[in-house]
Amino acid sequence: MEVKVKKVSENIWEIPREDGMLVPGRIFASDKLMKYIEKDKTLEQVKNVAHLKGILKYSLAMPDAHQGYGACVGGVAAFDLDKGIISPGAIGYDINCGVRVLQSNIKVDDFLKKRTDILNALYKNIPSGVGGKAKIKLNREILKEVCETGVDWCIKNNYATKEDRERTEEYGSMKGADFKEVTERAIIRGMPQLGSLGAGNHFLEVQKVDEIFDEKIAKVFGIKKDDVLIMVHCGSRGFGHQIASDYIKIMEEKIGFEDLPDRELICAPFKSELGQKYYKAMCCAINYAFCNRQMITYWIRETFREFFPDSELKLIYDVAHNACKIEEHIIDGKKEKVGVMRKGATRAFGPGRKDLPEIYQETGQPILIPGSMGTASYILVGTKKAEEISFATTAHGAGRVMSRHAALRQFRGEQIKKELSEKNIEVKAGSWKGLAEEGPGVYKDIDEVIEVSHNLGIGNKVARVIPLGVIKG
Amino acid sequence: MKYKYLEHTADIKFRSFGRTLNEAFSNAAYAMINIISEDKIKEKMTRKIKVRGIDRKSLLYSFLEEILFLLNTKNFLLSKVKEIKIKDKELTATLSGDNLRNYRLGLDVKAVTYNDMFIKEKPYVIQVVLDI
């Protein structure tokens, strides 16, 4: 389907309102990124989301947007809480797929000397891969506590410090979580998987700060040039996937999809009984994912202490990529509570936002954007401008340009490992195939994505980091 | 040809074929399992499944999703769809397979989606996008 799109200003494009669209679409992209975005069904999906009841202002796509299912990946929309809907397909199956970054007091040279052994130990200590089963046994009671209290459960069980909680979005615990709305199948699937990385594009990376763009803010974030950082990217595993799948089926039976442009955008009115049930179950999955990344953090700290007994790994921040959150935004000149659905996009609250911990009050929140394997990642800072034009959101990664299928035809895992090794990056992966599918070149240029974010002012550059060692699920 | 993979930027899109609806459903399951492991899976155990749906597409969604559920909760990796009965709102099947720990595993399939899904008749062609 041909979708009409016009350039509004530098880095901003608009899909004018037509047919059943309730609001226009807006895409934040450079001319170069727009060429990728136009190639697949991203624009059609931005348009489809604009049909959903109660949508406010615009259906948005971030610079790294690409085709997804239902909403595009990189899609953002805000909904009126009274008239609007909630849709599992506009949030994503991997609820609270997200990223955290730890700062360390380890020197690059010291890490490099022990790199292979450390990566092997991390690979051994952190379960990963398909069906990767966690190291701890959960029962139903514990899972309930994980879901309803989030990182507080981790603190109680010594997996987290109070500082970790402060440096996690929502303080690691979504208030709306109610375990009784979680489906039985999600409980069964989620119980054995807490504390595991998973597979696909999920990874753990040891990095080095390569360049600082904003010294003042970097200092508040606690990072300086040549620091060794550790980045973790994963989500709510089968628990979140199952909640999404089950609620899609329930919504189909109870509500139907006749008036929707895409069946995958099935939804329920936010305030309806079913809408609230999904929201409460989704909050459980968000908390599950916070705990998942926190437990992995605990094992990372433990592993590093084996090699560096004095090592200290401090959490900079933990951000969610796939979630619906109730936030205050300015609508028609008035502050209003709205439901913001981000799918493959990062929240970007600016300075002075009361939701942020004291330490980030003056700067705005840290935004952590992983690049593709073997390329740079970025740390940005949230802005007032993002609150004005993008419901406080920016990109979440590089964004794929090449299909997994095409990647497999073009790359071999062994060859990618060798090429990365020539760039002084060591990789440990669950499968050669998985490695080839995530190879460099299948993603858009991360630098270009970040420039758009920075130039628009929806997420400003603080630091650029480069990988030293990667563990792929 | 039982199935083929199509281009998709981020996820996996496939088409499966069959002389009958049953065959096209079974081939869709094989297309999904082949993403997870390309090994030849042995028939060491069987499992019976029964899923419900409001129409054919939701039966397909639930059928594939049940196979993922067995993989995630019982380590059951599908080898063959032995018997399959598709009614208006219910699907029953007997599956054979083996423990996934005995095989080399590739990608994890997170979920089945309705995105671009179709089920065409005579000849039967099914299209599915999987979230990876």
Q: Is position A294 within any domain? A: yes
Please answer whether residues A355 and A166 qualify as being in contact, where contact means their C-beta atoms are separated by less than 8 angstroms. no
Cross-chain CB nearest to B54 (options A94, A201, A252): A252
Give, to the nearest 10 degrees, the angle between helix A446-456 and helix A31-39: 120
Per-residue pLDDT in tens (0 to 9) along chain A, 473 residues: 789 999 999 999 999 999 899 999 999 999 999 999 998 899 999 999 999 999 999 999 999 999 988 999 999 999 999 999 999 999 999 999 999 999 999 999 999 999 999 999 999 999 887 765 677 888 999 999 999 999 999 999 999 999 999 999 999 999 999 999 999 999 999 998 998 888 777 889 999 999 999 999 999 999 999 999 999 999 999 999 999 999 999 999 999 988 899 999 999 999 999 999 999 999 999 999 999 999 999 999 999 999 999 999 999 999 999 999 999 999 999 999 999 999 999 999 999 999 999 999 999 999 999 988 778 999 999 999 999 999 999 999 987 777 777 777 777 778 888 888 888 999 888 777 777 777 767 777 899 999 999 999 999 999 999 999 999 87
* Residue A319 falls inside a structural domain: yes
Q: What is the pLDDT of residues A361-377, one digit of tens each?
A: 999 999 999 988 778 99
Q: What tens digit of pLDDT does each residue of B54-110 get?
A: 999 999 999 999 999 999 899 999 999 999 999 999 999 999 999 998 998 877 888
B83 to chain A nearest CA, in Å? 24
A380 interface with B at CB cutoff 8 Å: no
Position A308, amino acid: F
Chain A residues with CB inside 8 Å of B101's CB? Answer: 131
- Closest residue of chain B to A236, computed from CA coordinates: B110
Assess if residue A389 is contained within a domain.
yes
Out of A66, A321, A396, A454, the active site residue is A396
Q: Does A364 fall in a domain? A: yes
CA A3 to chain centroid: 27
Residues of B in Cβ contact (< 8 Å) with A189: 69, 72-73
CA triple A30-A58-A351, angle to 5 deg: 75
Q: Which single residue is written with the structure tokens 């088409």?
A: B15
Asked if A437 is an interface residue toward chain B (Cβ–Cβ < 8 A), one would say: yes
Residue A155 lies in a domain: yes
Q: Which of B10, B62, B104 sits opposite A73 (nearest CB)?
A: B10
Give the closest residue to A227 by CA, choosing from A215, A214, A213, A210.
A210
Domain-located, residue A284: yes
- Cβ of residue A410 closer than 8 Å to a chain B Cβ: no
Enumerate the domain spans of chain B: 3-131
Task: Determine, yes or no, domain membership for A64.
Answer: yes
Total number of domains in chain A = 1
CATH of the domain at A397: 3.90.1860.10
* The CATH fold of domain B3-131: Archease, Possible Chaperone; Chain: A; domain 1 (3.55.10)
Q: What is the ipTM of this complex?
A: 0.89
d(CA A245, CA A222): 40
Whether A396 sits among the annotated catalytic residues: the reply is yes
In a domain? residue A206: yes
Contacts of B115 in chain A (CB under 8 A): 68-70, 262, 264
Instruction: Round to whole Å and give the CA distance between B115 and A253.
Output: 18
Residues in A 91-120 with any Cβ partner in B closer than 8 A: 92-94
Residue B35: CA atoms inside 13 Å, Cβ hemisphere, count? 33
**In this structure, how many other beta carbons lie within 10 angstroms of the beta carbon of residue A211?**
12
Distance from CA of B31 to the nearest CA of A (A): 13
H or E segment to which residue B109 belongs: none
pTM of the complete model: 0.95
- The enclosing H or E element of A59 equals strand A55-69
CA distance B35 to chain A (A): 10
Cβ–Cβ contact B128 with A under 8 A: no
